[in-house]
Amino acid sequence: MSNREIEDLKVLIRSLDIRLKNEEISQEEYDNLKTKYEAQLNEEINLAKEKSFLRNLSYISISGSGKVTDSHIKISGSGRIDGWRGGSISISGSGKISDDEIKVSGSASLPGGLETHTLKASGSIKADGPLETTIFASSGSCQIDGYLVAHEKLTISGSGKIEADIKGGHVASSGSLKVAGAILCVSAELNGSYKIKGNVECQESFSSELNSKCTIGGDLLCSGDVRIEQGSGRGRLQVEQILAKGDVYLEGVNANYVSGKTVKLGPDCEVEKVEEKG
């Protein structure tokens, strides 16, 4: 039951007094209904407390202004929360933390092993271990000392440093991205500069605008189309192999081997072997 429904139940109990005064119900009916509703109210309040966002927190500190409710904590200034899902969160700037969402504007330090539905940050964030989300969005800088999962959408604008694999639905980056592992996703759109140590594997499509030197230490594997173009910075991509099942268009790519349904090489490409399988 929501807080709103609990308040409605309180109103219902208070209305019994008016109904009794107006002789709409008897004293016996009043006593029976009030006992019933109060018992229901106490039960729902206890359940709400058990499910409260605050139930496992061991420490909350806010410097500046903030708001603490059963469902979330809002911080403006700086704050620290201990015990949230077993870890500590520190925020400088402003932020909102609830059971399924973290929003930060400024800077934040997050625990490793964190799981949440949505994480949105502008400024800088650092996580001491892996993160798993449904939606992840960072503008500014982020450093994740482990893998990063975003089941639906992952967006990094600015700079990102991931010390293991990225796994996600749609993965998009602009600015600077460094990944110590692989990228495994449904689709990827990588712009700016990037350095991926392992493979990039896409179930649907891969696209990139190259504005500086970019590298994929392993192979680019894609079940759909691949399109790589040079941006205004005339960047280049070094990759071992590009293996696609769809159409491939490349600019500024150095590779040992490229295959696709169709393959078209644009300006500044150096490819040792091309194979079309259409």
The amino acid sitting at 189 is E
Is residue 220 predicted with pLDDT exceeding 60? yes
> Is 261 in a helix, a strand, or coil?
coil
pLDDT tens column, 14-70: 888 888 888 888 888 888 888 888 888 777 766 655 555 666 666 677 787 877 776
Predicted confidence at residue 54, as pLDDT, reads 64
Reported as a pLDDT band with limits 50, 70 and 90, residue 1 is very low
Distance CA 252, CA 11 (A): 69
Please tell me which residue, 109 or 9, carries the higher pLDDT value. 109
Q: Which of 97, 140, 141 is nearest to 119 (CA)?
A: 97
pLDDT, the chain, mean: 88
Rounded alpha-carbon distances, angstroms, from residue 213 to 181, 194, 231: 18, 8, 11
Reported as a pLDDT band with limits 50, 70 and 90, residue 144 is very high
pTM for the full model? 0.78
Is residue 3 predicted with pLDDT exceeding 60? no
Q: Is 92 left (phi over 0), alpha (psi -120 to 50) or beta?
A: beta
Predicted confidence at residue 142, as pLDDT, reads 94
Q: How far apart are the first and last CA of the chain?
A: 58
Q: What percent of the chain has pLDDT over 70?
A: 91
Distance CA 66, CA 78 (A): 9
Reported as a pLDDT band with limits 50, 70 and 90, residue 4 is low
Tokens of 203: 């179930």
Kindly state the average pLDDT of the residues 255-267.
97
Please tell me which residue, 53 or 72, carries the higher pLDDT value. 72
Predicted confidence at residue 113, as pLDDT, reads 86
Contact in structure between 121 and 142 (CB atoms under 8 Å): yes
Is residue 185 predicted with pLDDT exceeding 90? yes
The b-or-e profile of 228-264 (16+ CB within 10 A means b, else e) is bbbeeeebbbebbbbbbbbbbbbbbbbbeebbbeebe
Kindly state the average pLDDT of the residues 83-92.
78
